[in-house]
Amino acid sequence: MSYGLVPYTCNLDYINELGRNLKEDELAGLRESLAPALAQIDSDFMEPVKAIQALDDFIAGKVNHPSYPHLYWYVFEILCHVFGGRLPNESCYPCDPAIVDNLSSIKLYCLSHPVLPMPDDFPSVYACRPSSQAQLREELKTAPMPEECRKEMNGWLDFVQPHEQDLVVFYY
């Protein structure tokens, strides 16, 4: 099995405040539109807790099922996709996690959601907020990584910086 980076552009503050940003009918529509993706998470993990429950908890800013932290993070990934987008990635999957671990401007689990539980295994989730993206670009110049991955990550920054979006990178 290969592991690598899966990058997204999004506004973390908006996603973390969904319960305040969306009206009840919009939240109901969101639940309905996410039903296939949530069902896929349920099928992949076959946990007694359903992904829709993790979504509802996320929106409410609470965690009712702390023994299943990975479900919350995979639901979070779906939200990054829906309220942002997945960025192209031809060169950083598969890759060694040291590629991002060696970059001080992209932080592991530094999201602003008040109660998101830390996963006990996967996914690993990194974020680079707009205020740190110039620093990340500088770090990429000398970071030990394949040149193709360096170019790819600079391309991600080329996309997120003009829009002042967050760069969120999942590793699994």
Mean pLDDT by 10 residues, the chain (172 residues): 89 88 90 96 94 93 90 94 95 88 87 72 89 96 95 97 96 88
- Give the whole-angstrom CA distance, residue 54 versus residue 79: 12
DSSP 8-state secondary structure symbol assigned to residue 171: E
β-strands 166-171, 85-86 pairing:
unpaired
Q: Are residues 120 and 76 in contact, defined by beta-carbon separation less than 8 angstroms? A: no
pTM for the structure as a whole: 0.91
**Helices 51-60 + 69-82 axis angle, to 10:** 70
pLDDT at 112: 66
pLDDT at 122: 79
pLDDT at 123: 86
Task: Quickly list DSSP for 106-167.
Answer: SEET----SSPPPPSSS-EEEEE-GGGHHHHHHHHHH-SS-HHHHHHHHHHHHHHHHHTPEE
pLDDT at 68: 92
The single residue listed with the structure tokens 């671990």 is: 101
pLDDT at 113: 67
Q: What are the structural domain ranges in the chain?
A: 5-171
β-strands 166-171, 107-108 pairing:
unpaired
- Give the whole-angstrom CA distance, residue 86 versus residue 20: 24
Q: Are residues 6 and 89 in contact, defined by beta-carbon separation less than 8 angstroms? A: yes
